[in-house]
Amino acid sequence: MKIAISTDTGFVSAHFGRCPSFTIAEIEEGKVLKVEEINNPGHQPAFLPNFLAERGVKYIICGGMGNRAQMLFAEKKITPVIGVTGKIEEVIEKFVQGKLEAGESFCKPGAGKGYGLEKGEFRP
């Protein structure tokens, strides 16, 4: 099974579609077989669900994702896990252990490129 994590400088990105890259981890029988980071090829409606589905991804882990994007991923049989923060390595380990907890999406209506943050705020 493969998981994809929206990535920004080693941490889970606040917004899946605008992240600089995705970390893709291949997991089998509770072990991480391979981890690779790929550049985000672009943010266009329905493009990323197709792009990740073609790579065999079954879960997309991110800080935030809009409702429409969640529906598009579901159509591709990819489960969104939203509201996640932390270092990529720790997130992968928690996922493997079954201890990864989802939360509330950081993407709110009107958040746009601000990732749901107020001006001057930072969230790793």
Residues 59, 52: Cα–Cα separation, whole Å: 9
- Whether pLDDT at 44 is above 90: no
Residue 30 inside a domain? The answer is: yes
Residue 124 inside a domain? The answer is: no
Q: Which domain covers residue 28, as residue numbers?
A: 2-114
Residue 120 inside a domain? The answer is: no
Residues 12, 48: Cα–Cα separation, whole Å: 17
Alpha helix positions (H), 1-124:
47-54, 67-75, 88-97
User: What pLDDT digit, counting tens, does each position of 65-119 carry?
Assistant: 988 899 999 999 999 999 999 999 999 999 999 999 988 776 655 544 444 444 4
Least confident interval from 10-24, 29-43, 49-63, 104-118: 104-118
- Whether pLDDT at 13 is above 50: yes
CB–CB of 65/12 below 8 Å? no
Domain count, the chain: 1
